[in-house]
Chain A
C-alpha cells in the first residue's frame, strides 16, 4: 500500500463528493445550495491539485490538469457568490445561483474524470 496514493485518492474522492453535495438541489433556488459545502469543495480541490505537483508520469500530468480545471471552476463560482452577495444591487437571485451551480457542475465533471482516471490507473496496476 502506498500512503501517498491513499491520501491522494481520499482528497480526489472527497472533492468529488463535496462538490456533488453542493450541486444537488434545484438550480435556481439558493436555499438548496450551502455556501459551506462550496468552501470545503474548493479547499479540498486545491489540496488535491497541490498533491499532484511534481509527478512526472503521464497519468500524473492528466490528473493535475483535471484538478486544475476543477479549481478554476470552483474559484470562479466562489467569486460570483461573493460578488452577488456583497457587490451587486439585486443580491443573491435565481440567475446568480444558477450560474454558480452550473460552474460547480463543470467542476463536478472534472472531479469525476479525475476519479475515473484514478480507478483506471489502479486497475492497470492490479492486473
Chain B
C-alpha cells in the first residue's frame, strides 16, 4: 500500500471513533429508557429497534417514532440524539474534506501519480532537472523531436508553467528538490529505460549531486550538466560527467571560431542553432584588436582565447584590483558606458567590442556608445535576461550571447544524435577551404530555413527495409535513400555529412557509395526530408521503388501524388 492510503486511514481514526462512540451511547440510551406500547404497558426497545431508529435518525431520514409513539423521556433522549449525531457527522465529513484539501496530502497524491507515470514509461526517456529558461526550451525541443522526458523543478510556478506550455506529449512533472535521491528514484533514475540525465538547476551543488547519483547508479548512462563556476566543472569532470556545459566557455570558443575559422564556425552555427547566420558574415574582417568590457567569468574566458591566438585586447573593468588585473597599458579602469573610457581603450582602432558585464542596461549602453565612436565595429553583447531579447534584437548586435539559448541549443545537439558531436570534432581539424565548400553546399540546400540533422542506423530495428534488402545481397547506395519515395526522379533536400563504418569515419561520403549493414549515417537538410527518409528506410515497397523503379503495392493515391509532384 502506498503512503496516501495510510495517511487517509490515520486521519480518519478520530472521526470514526467519535461516530462509533456516539452511536453506541445513543443505542444504549434507547434500550435502557422505558417506553410504552399502544396499550400503555411498559415496553423496552430492543437493540435491533434502537439501532434501526438511530440509523435513520442519524442520517436525518426520519421515519417517525418506531415501533410505538415515544414517551416524554424517550423524546428527551431523541433531542440529544439528533444534535449529537449531526455534530458527529459534520465532524467526520469535515475531517474527510480537510484531508482532501490538505497540502501535504495533495503533494503525496501528486508524487504517487508521478511515480506511477514514470514507472509505466515504456519508451526511452531523459530526466530533466530544472525547468527554468534553459530547461523549458530543452524540453520543448526534445518533445517536438519525439523524445520523452521527465521534469523535476523545485519552483511551483515553473511546474505550473510546464502544465500551461502546450507540449506535444504529456510530460510527467514533479515539484520537488531534485538533489534528493528519493525524488530522483521516483523520477526513474533506476528505471531501465532512462537513457540520460540533464542537470539544469540554478544551483551548481544540486547539479553536482544529481550527476553523482546518476553516475554511481549507472556509470555508462549519459549525464549532461550545466555549470557556472570552474571549480564545479572540474569536480563534475572528475567522476566522468559526459558533457559539462559552461555558457561562457562555449561562447568564448564560438567567438574564437568566428574570428579565426569563419567557415568552420558557420557550419557549426548552422548545425547547432535553428536560426543561423548568413554566409556573407564570414567575409567581415575580424582579426585585430578587441575591446572587452567586464572581466568577470565571461571576460576571462574570452581573454584566455585571445591570448592563445596572440591577438591584442584592451580590457575595461571598473574594479581591476578586485579581479586580479595589473593596471598595464591594456587595462582601462571604468565601466565602458562613457565615451571617455572607450576612447582611452582605443575604440577607434579596434575591430570589435564585447559588452560582457552582468548588467543588460550597461551592455546596451556600451555597444551603442561604441558604435557611435566607430561605426565599423563588430558588436558582441552578453544578454543576461530573456525579457531583454527584443531590446537586444533592435540594437543590431552582430553576435548575441544568450546563456540559456546557448545551453539549450548545445544540449539538443548532444541529444539529437551522438554522430553530430563526432562530426563536429572531426570538423575542427578540417581546412578552411573544405569548410567553405561545405557551407556553400549547405546554403544551396536549405537557404534561409533551419538546417536539421538526423542519423540513420542501418540495423534491423531502425531501418528494417534496408536491412532486409542488404541481407539478400542487393546493392543500395546512399543516393537511393535520398530519393523521394513517391517520385524517384526527385531527390530529397538533404545531404550526408558523415558515415561511420566499423569505427572509421568518412566525412561527406559520396552519393554513389554502397551501404552495408551496421553503417551509421549522419544526414542534414530540411526536417521534412528527415521524415520522408525515416519512412523510406522502414518501408519495403517504397525502398524497392526508389532503388529499381519497381512498383510495389500499387496504391491509387500514390499515382496521384506522383502526378502532383511530377508536374
- Please give the residue numbers on chain A whose beta carbons come within 8 Å of chain B beta carbons, in ascending order: 35-36, 39-40, 43, 46-47, 50-51, 53-56, 78, 81-82, 85-86
Contact = CB atoms under 8 A, between A and B. Distances in A.
Contact of B7 (A35, A40, A54): A54
Given A82-B47, A82-B48, A85-B46, A39 B27 contact: yes
Interface string B40-59: 00000011110100000000
Contacts of B24: 39-40, 43
Given A39-B27, A43-B24, A86-B48, A50 B17 contact: yes
B545 to A, nearest CB: 64
Provide the main secondary structure of the chain B interface: helix
A50 B16 contact: yes
Contacts of B21: 43, 47
A36 B9 CA distance: 30
B10 interface: yes
Contact of A50 (B8, B20, B48): B20
A53 B10 contact: yes
A85 B46 CA distance: 9
Contacts of A47: 17, 20-21
A43 B11 contact: no
Contacts of A40: 24
A56 B47 CA distance: 36
Contacts of B17: 47, 50-51
19 contacts: A35-B47, A40-B24, A46-B20, A50-B12, A50-B17, A53-B9, A53-B10, A53-B12, A54-B7, A54-B8, A54-B9, A54-B12, A54-B13, A55-B10, A82-B47, A85-B46, A85-B48, A86-B46, A86-B49
Given A81-B48, A86-B48, 9 more contacts: A43-B20, A54-B6, A54-B7, A54-B9, A54-B10, A55-B6, A55-B10, A82-B48, A86-B46
Nearest to B25: A43
Interface of B: 6-13, 16-17, 20-21, 24, 27-28, 31, 46-49, 51
A86 B52 CA distance: 12
Contact of B13 (A39, A53, A86): A53
Give the interface centre of B8, B12, B20 by most chain A CB atoms within 10 Å: B20
Given A39-B27, A54-B6, A78 B47 contact: yes
A50 B8 CA distance: 12
A54 B11 contact: yes
Contacts of A86: 46, 48-49
Given A39-B28, A47-B21, A53 B16 contact: yes
Contacts of B10: 53-55
A35 B28 CA distance: 11
A43 B50 CA distance: 14
Contacts of A43: 20-21, 24
B291 to A, nearest CB: 66
| Nearest 7 pairs of A and B residues by beta carbon | A54-B10, A54-B9, A53-B9, A82-B48, A43-B24, A50-B16, A54-B6
B13 A56 contact: no
A46 B19 CA distance: 11
B45 to A, nearest CB: 12
Contacts of B13: 50-51, 53-54
A94 B27 CA distance: 26
Contacts of A56: 6
A50 B7 CA distance: 13
B92 to A, nearest CB: 12
B14 to A, nearest CB: 9
A39 B9 contact: no
Nearest to B51: A82
Q: Among A47, A50, A51, which residue has the most Cβ atoms of chain B within 10 A?
A: A50
Contacts of B8: 54
A54 B108 CA distance: 15
Contacts of B6: 54-56
B43 to A, nearest CB: 14
B157 to A, nearest CB: 33
A22 to B, nearest CB: 13
Residue of A54, A55, A56 with most chain B CB atoms under a 10 A cut-off:
A54
A54 B1 CA distance: 10
Nearest to B32: A36
A51 B8 CA distance: 13
A85 to B, nearest CB: 6
A86 B51 CA distance: 13
